[in-house]
């Protein structure tokens, strides 16, 4: 801070004083400076900033704020929490300030999705020649109150690890906090199982496996552009080829676009399957 304590510019005493005071209250975490405005009381303000910890992991700073401020430090069942403001001065070549407001609804969303966020904590997806942090991408969308569908489809198209995408689907369902949340989670599991069973029916025959692989790509595209007619046409062909009936749960995809995407994504993830040797540990990285 303050040019690493080596100011190389001649400035007036007043400006010097203002610059010198600017970093006060901020924690230096790696290259970044952070101040948490938990303004319920002076005590909570001091506590929120004093307990910040930081692991030297690039691109993981947002997740660590949530871990410290919400998952570990706060118990919203005991008291009402006001909005929390997190100010960050980002270091590196392009230095800039950002403000993140964590409101009550976001806190509830994070707590509802605590299990999924812990699962994807250290997951990085390889896209082309670069790695992206799945948790950071998800949290950025939650912070800005955006859905995760663009991230889900992006990872699907680029053949990222399906375990991570499955957690994102659960987060997208849970973030709405509707009365049907538990039902939709159970429905997603049902459709995942349906896709997994279908994949097993096609397994063992090279021609059938290639046919299924091509159909999955078309199903993904139909889902992404919200083309239900094309999706169901492909679905009918797949089940007809193995002389089996389409599960009744697919009928609910006609209710709304959101239902269609939830059902279709769960089904495709079931076809693709999770890696058999994947262990659900926070310290494992999935590529």
pLDDT tens figures, 138-187: 988 888 889 999 999 999 998 888 999 999 999 999 988 677 889 999 99
pLDDT confidence of residue 176:
80
Task: Retrieve residue 99's tokens.
Answer: 């403000």
The reported pLDDT for the residue numbered 277 is: 38
**Contact indicator for 138, 151 with CB cutoff of 8 Å:** yes
Tell the burial category of 231 from Cβ atoms under 10 Å away from its Cβ (0-12, 13-18, 19+).
Answer: buried
For 43, half-sphere exposure in the C-beta direction (CA atoms, 13 angstrom radius) is: 0
For residues 203 and 209, the answer to whether their CB atoms sit within 8 Å is: yes
Residue 104 CA, chain-centre distance (Å), reads 18
Output the average pLDDT for the chain.
Answer: 80
Tokens 């605590």 -> residue = 114
The pLDDT, as a whole number, for residue 237 is 93
Q: Are the beta carbons of 273 and 147 closer than 8 angstroms?
A: no
Q: How many CA atoms lie within 13 A of 172 on its CB side?
A: 24
Q: Which are the contacts of 196, defined by CB distance < 8 A and separation ≥ 6?
A: 270, 271, 273
Asked if 41 and 82 touch (Cβ cutoff 8 Å), the reply is: no
The confidence score (pLDDT) of residue 275 equals 54
Strand, helix or coil at 236?
A: helix
Q: What's the rounded mean pLDDT across residues 252-263? A: 92
Instruction: Write b or e for each residue in 93-124: b if 16 or more Cβ atoms lie within 10 A of its Cβ, otherwise e.
Output: eeeeeeebebeeebbbbbbbbeebbbbbbbbb
Element at 90 (helix H, strand E): strand 84-90
């Amino acid at each position: 801070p303050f040019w690493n304590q080596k100011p190389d510019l001649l400035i007036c005493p007043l400006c010097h004083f203002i610059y010198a005071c600017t970093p006060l209250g901020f924690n230096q975490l790696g290259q970044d400076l952070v101040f948490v405005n938990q303004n319920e009381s002076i005590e909570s303000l001091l506590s929120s900033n004093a307990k910040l910890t930081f692991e030297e992991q690039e691109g993981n700073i947002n997740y660590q704020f949530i871990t410290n401020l919400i998952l570990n430090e706060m118990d919203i069942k005991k008291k009402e929490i006001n909005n929390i403001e997190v100010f960050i001065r980002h270091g590196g070549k392009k230095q800039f300030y950002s403000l993140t407001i964590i409101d009550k609804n976001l806190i509830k969303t994070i707590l509802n999705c605590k299990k999924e966020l812990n699962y994807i904590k250290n997951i990085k997806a390889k896209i082309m020649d670069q790695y992206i942090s799945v948790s950071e991408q998800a949290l950025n969308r939650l912070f800005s109150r955006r859905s995760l569908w663009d991230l889900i489809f992006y990872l699907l198209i680029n053949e990222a690890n399906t375990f991570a995408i499955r957690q994102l689907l659960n987060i997208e369902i849970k973030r709405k906090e509707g009365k049907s949340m538990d039902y939709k989670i159970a429905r997603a599991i049902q459709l995942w199982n349906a896709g997994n069973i279908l994949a097993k029916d096609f397994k063992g025959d090279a021609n059938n496996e290639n046919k299924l692989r091509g159909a999955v790509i078309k199903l993904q595209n139909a889902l992404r552009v919200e083309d239900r007619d094309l999706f169901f046409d492909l679905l009918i062909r797949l089940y007809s080829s193995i002389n089996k009936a389409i599960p009744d749960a697919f009928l609910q995809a006609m209710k709304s676009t959101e239902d269609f995407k939830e059902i279709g994504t769960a089904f495709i993830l079931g076809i693709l399957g999770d890696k058999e040797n994947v262990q659900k540990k926070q310290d494992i990285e999935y590529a």
